[in-house]
Structure 1
């Protein structure tokens, strides 16, 4: 707390220093139709010394100047397509509201504004960064992903869209959520030409938005404000392609817009590792790389068939609905090699593996969201989801352990598994406001159910080079039935204490019940069936975890400051019962105080500081509690631990944002830290199996048994910085970012404590074109350096780094001729011998626009022209460092026909802006 005292005193000094300043506000609109003009440049010029202060109007045409001292000023407004506007303003002891200011249409205004400067890039509005889409030029066929990755602080890292150093988890259109699980797919299905502006902020949970109190459940969110003329009509793309090695792709994505009603239909069938199809696809399927679910380039050779429908609408004036359905079918073949260096008492102990995986998945996913705004005092929200999944897999694995003397053991095993699962979740949220009294009651109830049924056939042949008498030949059948049920309830009651503060009381109860039945049967030679029950490899376990918490929250909010503090007392009970391999029961109780706090200070419209502290607990999963041996990989067996406790997390974040509207410079810096007590770590045994797990089972030489245990000492601290500005020399935008992090992972090796410390830091540079719609390029480079140190065996410390550079060009040449190319170079240093250290991936296509308005295109493309594409990944744990190289899709040629669909009729503004950042309790009652 002492460390926070100095910054708080400095902030109070800032507030005092500007105590005699005032605000100047107004709204810019078109004189002809009175519509708001977002993104207009507004400059305030002081008459005494010609000092200039600039800003840009928001999505509703409003502008605001903070800290304006007494004196005479000139307001100067410029907007492309309108005449320049000036007005004299006198500030004398009070705020000034200029009201609506109307701009006259005029053709001469275009040249005049262009002389003054480029379009305003962005504006910082509290914790929200708002970017003006007009300031970023993209190709005619570009998607919203192409647009946002030109913006400062927004990048693609490991296949995931990141904003200000955090993964984007939610996408909204005009304040309404785009329902679905895949953020990248959603962004690629929005056309760049539809977008007026893009907002980046930390979206709150539905419960926090209803109650007005932040519950800490925030997700990085992108909100796309659409142009008025793009709110009615339809747009999309259809493509068909065929290439060498029988590579093929057929896909379609159609978007229909009618003001509040938005419908998106997508479909895809292919064998070129595409997981989805969108309006932003480029010919050949290889351009910009492919991405799997959750980001990252997909490994293996993948055949995919998908179909999806996304629906958003207003049913009347009070009911907002959204939902989606997705069908997904995938066949995957992936060959991998794995090199693992173990940390422990044996010098030079290694693990090597070659494997082949053949997987077939089929799933159906349904999501629905209905919000009913009954009246100004009552809101109701229901969000059910349902999914079905069937999986079949075949794994062939050859693995060995070895040390400096040679091979210790070798295993060949075959796993054939199939499973089916169902998952259901439903959340009901209700909030009532007691008129204008400032009192709000919010109630939340959630139910969840999942069921998994699976069968596995295991064949194992393990050879012991130290003691051949311990060779193992195993033929086993495993049946698994798992059922999980949970429910939770929450009640919040808040009361206004004054014009700027509120008090809330909260009670929460949560119950999770897990029931797992795993039974193993050995093959009986005399009957030819799996009838010999194997008790040591069987386990039935049922856990019941219930938590109750209650406590107060206090919130203070003014024009510049927001402060919130919470304190919860939580009482939890964990009960467990086991039948196999021997009866066991447990019951443990946990008591915790869970404090949290958040402080936010708004220096101005363009500068913002946010500091937050959160605490929470997490219970162990049924897999971690179930103490049954899993020998699907006999050289790396695993087991659960019924004695696990819940962990306790402390998280602290600091964010500072600023934007200079005169120079279009944007700066963001963030620091994020997590410390976990009773962290669920890995305890590794390399020689003997603990007595309670043994039951006659002995480890092969070099094999390692992993069991979860609670340990203190987990740390994860990282920082991220982003700086962006226009690069006028080549009409581009430049974005520089840097990061540094430290992770400390505790673990045990034969009951000796080891801490795996990983320090990583790096930089990144991105230059994106802003020349014209016909020339679109992006040049980026990212450097990442890692220092790995272990406290148990310091001679096994390791430093490594990688450098990834990427060049992407989209050039519309003479008479609709289009050239696209992408070069991606990856260099790795410090990896295991035997894996590829570097590669150059080169994709390109040459296309010709056809038909009216160049809506069609025929192209020839090549994926991985140099045939160097590889996939290498390094993994770090408390007891090992490993490198994994996987199968990837390599060179093929493809002919593609694509057709773009575009028809916009114009439209009215959405009838309801349900932006989840807006706090109901804060709009009235303060």
Structure 2
């Protein structure tokens, strides 16, 4: 018996000696982002093996001969990791918990000196340490964003950086209030935030494969301090003022580890954040956001929002059409009432270490009613004809949109081999009706008057189904090289129906010439081959693709058909170089198709404005856009300065432009569309920020320029000619900030911009405008509980042809008193637009036209409000 037991023991030991294990895991930084290229070593007994972390931070060790081993991980400028593990011999596939490396710190004479790094530069990410941009107690995240170099927040809560808008906000990597950026940044208090990351996001597929092609979108990810992930915080505000102004809001967040519930509700008629800038707006909004990670495999997030808006806007518009010598002064009064429902969600399921599924449904439903009244005075200088036009339009519309995105990914046992599938389907439909009335009084060159009247009833309906898919397979061809083969297919099917009736003597008469039933399909097929090389300091992608685009259209009730096919060869190039942790350069090229809109394609004349009838062109080809983008970012941790630069160039083949033909001896014009080449644009911007005296003072220089080569075709006297409008916009700003704790926090900014347009035709006169602006915004603190806030801006404009353009001075001020324990209560008195000069205006340049618009905005009023904050963490 003893011999038998001894024999079993020997056999067991031999089996253990011959046992082999699979060890896998990921290496990340402290915020959870993968550390691509990190070196991982595994030691057991006298053996040692090493691996390099993949694009998603993953590593794999095969044929490990012991269940007891020591694992270490290292990455440049990060702290090293080392730990000994002892697993059960029955577990053949060992999954190591995520290894998170902290920032390296300097040790000197046994004293640890840990420097707070304000800005970190990663491949596609700028990370800002929230503690380095301190704000007043009780402030929301939007106050922190205002302090970040290169980031701008406007009055409506829209956020832009490097000339691009932030389109989405995430919290700890999960979507937060969908695409409602303003709500998201106002919902979270600033003092729970660990860091804020501005990310160039290329989608779920790029995160897993590392192959980043196409255009990215800017998103904001907010990481919360670990000790603030359990608890609740809420804020309520109510206020009333003169002119029947009111404000009420409630924001609440509940955290319990991975579970989070957020509620946001506002109602106001003060045009404050989210209420709308132009005109006067009564706005009501409620939103709910939920997320939870149930276990290591399943997580969900999603939300719902409802918004009601009642807006009234009146303004003036001055249009200069130089090709025809046509100048139009227009006054308008528009009102719009709308209701909107939106929902969104994400369901993520990690079956195992090799398989991942993400499903993202979304939808919306909107209805609106609008009224538009206008008066135009048109001076046709080349034939000396003046037209006075009175217009009235009443309409309503319903629209719905629903869809889902599905992403599937499978990793093979061979490291780096990966296959993924992205599929999307979307359905949207809408219908609407309009009553359009126009009355014309035309005075010819010798003073004779004539009149024309028009009254139409127009019903529209449309339906669109879009489907797309992308299949990608990636194969490693070395330790640091990968090849990706991908196929992309997309199809969009659109149906539109328009039914028009002319009203004469109170009778509605069908007009078949202005009615139509039109359907078209836009299909693309793209096959691409990409090569990616990965290095700890740099990586690049080179590829080549071929894309076919087909546009088919059927004019059902008229029996007409169109069919256009184009083939484009599309190179792909992306290069990222990290000089060190403080400097990064990226260059990216991409190409894409743009399909025409159905109003541009539909072979139907819209004569709701008799002096500018518009007809679609069913023979249009899709556009193809070549885009090149370059970014250089630098952050000097020692001196604290930051530099962000961006340069973009795009050129469009088969650009869809307008053709405008003047009807002989009249002020009427016929508008249609055609394809042409020669359209391109160039844009660049920069922001340099330098703090002094431990960030008490900060100077920021920023500026940029854009150049657009716009093209249009003008027809007059039987000749159609090409007119090029070259638009150049240059702006430069200087900002000085003072941040003295519990004393003052202010920013003074001055900027100058010039907008010039040159035309190729001699009949078109070049135009140039200049704008100088001064802004002072700040808060002064007294006795710790009393705050004086102010915001003053002055714009000085020159070169505008419209006499309505003014040089407004806008002044807002408030006094706030904080009380209760922890300053939980606030009492505020505010005065808005004290000089009653609030107006908004903008200049647009396109084709051969310059349009100067000016609209009303909410004028002087006063508001008294009370606020209360509740919070508790660690529960």
Q: Structure 1 residue 870: deviation in Å?
A: 1.0
Matches within 5 A, 1:305-704: 305-346=284-325, 349-404=326-381, 407-466=385-444, 471-525=451-505, 528-530=506-508, 532-579=509-556, 582-687=558-663, 701-704=666-669
Structure 1 residues not aligned, in runs of 5+: 1-21, 30-58, 65-74, 78-84, 88-102, 277-290, 293-297, 689-699, 907-926
Matches within 5 A, 1:287-298: 292=276, 298=277
Q: 1:508 to 1:868 in 2, by over 3 A?
A: same
The separation in 2 between residues aligned to 1:832 and 1:842, in whole angstroms, is 26
Q: 1:879 to 1:851 in 2, by over 3 A?
A: same
| Partner-residue secondary structure (3-state), 2:147 | coil
Asked whether the equivalents of residues 494 and 505 of structure 1 are also in contact (C-alpha less than 8 Å), the reply is yes
The separation in 1 between residues aligned to 2:858 and 2:667, in whole angstroms, is 34
Asked whether the equivalents of residues 344 and 793 of structure 1 are also in contact (C-alpha less than 8 Å), the reply is no
Partner of 1:63: 103
Q: 1:205 to 1:252 in 2, by over 3 A?
A: same
The separation in 2 between residues aligned to 1:567 and 1:734, in whole angstroms, is 44
The separation in 2 between residues aligned to 1:245 and 1:738, in whole angstroms, is 39
User: Among residues 193, 196, 199, which one is paired with 1:195 in the alignment?
Assistant: 193
Matches within 5 A, 1:846-861: 846-861=815-830
User: Among residues 128, 131, 138, which one is paired with 1:131 in the alignment?
Assistant: 128
The separation in 2 between residues aligned to 1:759 and 1:572, in whole angstroms, is 33
Partner of 2:4: none
Q: 1:894 to 1:381 in 2, by over 3 A?
A: same
Q: Structure 1 residue 76: deviation in Å?
A: 3.4
1:667-717 per-position Cα deviation (integer Å, ceiling 9, x unaligned): 1222111111111111112226xxxxxxxxxxx943433222111111110
Q: 1:785 to 1:157 in 2, by over 3 A?
A: farther
| Partner-residue secondary structure (3-state), 1:245 | coil
Asked whether the equivalents of residues 711 and 848 of structure 2 are also in contact (C-alpha less than 8 Å), the reply is no
| Partner-residue secondary structure (3-state), 2:515 | strand
| Partner-residue secondary structure (3-state), 2:142 | helix
The separation in 1 between residues aligned to 2:203 and 2:694, in whole angstroms, is 43
| Partner-residue secondary structure (3-state), 2:184 | helix
Q: Structure 1 residue 455: deviation in Å?
A: 1.0
Asked whether the equivalents of residues 626 and 640 of structure 1 are also in contact (C-alpha less than 8 Å), the reply is yes
Structure 2 residues not aligned, in runs of 5+: 1-73, 82-98
| Partner-residue secondary structure (3-state), 1:536 | helix
Asked whether the equivalents of residues 126 and 606 of structure 1 are also in contact (C-alpha less than 8 Å), the reply is no
Asked whether the equivalents of residues 333 and 374 of structure 2 are also in contact (C-alpha less than 8 Å), the reply is yes
The separation in 2 between residues aligned to 1:440 and 1:729, in whole angstroms, is 48
Matches within 5 A, 1:745-894: 745-750=710-715, 751-773=720-742, 775-793=744-762, 796-814=765-783, 816-894=785-863
Q: Structure 1 residue 369: deviation in Å?
A: 1.1
Q: Structure 1 residue 511: deviation in Å?
A: 1.1
Q: Structure 1 residue 124: deviation in Å?
A: 2.4
Asked whether the equivalents of residues 336 and 886 of structure 1 are also in contact (C-alpha less than 8 Å), the reply is yes
The separation in 2 between residues aligned to 1:226 and 1:511, in whole angstroms, is 41
The separation in 1 between residues aligned to 2:294 and 2:220, in whole angstroms, is 25
1:246-276 per-position Cα deviation (integer Å, ceiling 9, x unaligned): 1111111112222222222111221112354
Q: Structure 1 residue 457: deviation in Å?
A: 1.1
Q: Structure 1 residue 773: deviation in Å?
A: 4.7
Q: Structure 1 residue 639: deviation in Å?
A: 2.5
Q: Structure 1 residue 494: deviation in Å?
A: 1.1
The separation in 2 between residues aligned to 1:654 and 1:24, in whole angstroms, is 25
Q: CA RMSD of the aligned region, Å?
A: 2.4
Q: Structure 1 residue 730: deviation in Å?
A: 8.1
Partner of 2:283: 304
| Partner-residue secondary structure (3-state), 1:210 | helix
Asked whether the equivalents of residues 457 and 502 of structure 2 are also in contact (C-alpha less than 8 Å), the reply is yes
The separation in 1 between residues aligned to 2:80 and 2:795, in whole angstroms, is 49
| Partner-residue secondary structure (3-state), 1:477 | strand
The separation in 1 between residues aligned to 2:696 and 2:449, in whole angstroms, is 74
Q: 1:617 to 1:158 in 2, by over 3 A?
A: farther
Q: 1:511 to 1:261 in 2, by over 3 A?
A: same
Q: 1:305 to 1:713 in 2, by over 3 A?
A: same
1:106-143 per-position Cα deviation (integer Å, ceiling 9, x unaligned): xxx9xxx9xxxx85422323443222222222111222
Q: 1:877 to 1:226 in 2, by over 3 A?
A: same
The separation in 2 between residues aligned to 1:314 and 1:636, in whole angstroms, is 57
- Asked if residue 76 in structure 1 is aligned to residue 103 in structure 2, the reply is no
Q: Structure 1 residue 507: deviation in Å?
A: 1.4
Q: Structure 1 residue 63: deviation in Å?
A: 3.3
Asked whether the equivalents of residues 411 and 634 of structure 1 are also in contact (C-alpha less than 8 Å), the reply is no
Partner of 1:52: none
The separation in 1 between residues aligned to 2:488 and 2:78, in whole angstroms, is 44
Q: 1:473 to 1:345 in 2, by over 3 A?
A: closer
| Partner-residue secondary structure (3-state), 1:542 | strand
1:323-348 per-position Cα deviation (integer Å, ceiling 9, x unaligned): 111111111111111111111143xx
The separation in 2 between residues aligned to 1:127 and 1:560, in whole angstroms, is 14
Q: Structure 1 residue 520: deviation in Å?
A: 0.3
| Partner-residue secondary structure (3-state), 1:554 | strand
Q: Which shows bigger deviation, 767-776 or 447-456?
A: 767-776
Q: 1:536 to 1:466 in 2, by over 3 A?
A: farther
The separation in 2 between residues aligned to 1:395 and 1:26, in whole angstroms, is 61
Asked whether the equivalents of residues 638 and 705 of structure 1 are also in contact (C-alpha less than 8 Å), the reply is yes
The separation in 2 between residues aligned to 1:503 and 1:183, in whole angstroms, is 37
Q: 1:515 to 1:126 in 2, by over 3 A?
A: closer
The separation in 1 between residues aligned to 2:176 and 2:811, in whole angstroms, is 34
Q: 1:158 to 1:811 in 2, by over 3 A?
A: closer
Q: Structure 1 residue 585: deviation in Å?
A: 0.9
Partner of 1:145: 142
User: Among residues 95, 109, 119, which one is paired with 1:122 in the alignment?
Assistant: 119
1:210-248 per-position Cα deviation (integer Å, ceiling 9, x unaligned): 333213241122222221222111223211111111111
Asked whether the equivalents of residues 177 and 288 of structure 2 are also in contact (C-alpha less than 8 Å), the reply is no
